[in-house]
A = this chain, B = another copy of it.
């Protein structure tokens, strides 16, 4: 019931990029800004690009931006893409004497759906800024 560091920062990367709307942001900037490993962050960004949440551009003055508007990216979808969330327990892994009687698996599946659905009531846009409409750049100058 903890998100992986990977997923946690996956969300934060997207929020950071959303808050710096428009501008191309580099891995280096984010890793310095959050104080986390450049190398590990690289893998997070790569996965986010593969999952089509980020668009990346190589080369000089490259960097990343959101692949879609922040108001169209839902955090539950991001979690599903970064975290293995499909089955919370595996009833087939070991012989289970309760098989056929037990509805634990169904209940857990429903609960997982409730989790994701609740996250998907939001978008990146309203998680960062929201009503106040504040931009990151106005609050905390990068570096």
Chain A interface residues (CB < 8 Å from chain B): 1-3, 8, 11-12, 15-16, 19, 33-36, 75-76, 79, 83-85, 88-89, 94-98, 100-104, 107-108, 110-119, 121-122, 126-130, 132, 134, 136, 139-140, 142
Contact = CB atoms under 8 A, between A and B. Distances in A.
Contacts of A130: 103
A107 B84 CA distance: 19
B75 A107 contact: yes
B100 A139 contact: yes
Contacts of A114: 111, 114-115, 117-118
A12 B105 CA distance: 11
Q: How many copies does the complex hold?
A: 2
A36 B140 contact: no
A127 B112 contact: no
A100 B89 CA distance: 36
Contacts of A132: 101
8 contacts: A3-B89, A8-B89, A16-B97, A16-B98, A75-B104, A97-B136, A98-B128, A103-B122
Contacts of A89: 3, 8
A27 to B, nearest CB: 15
A56 B11 CA distance: 44
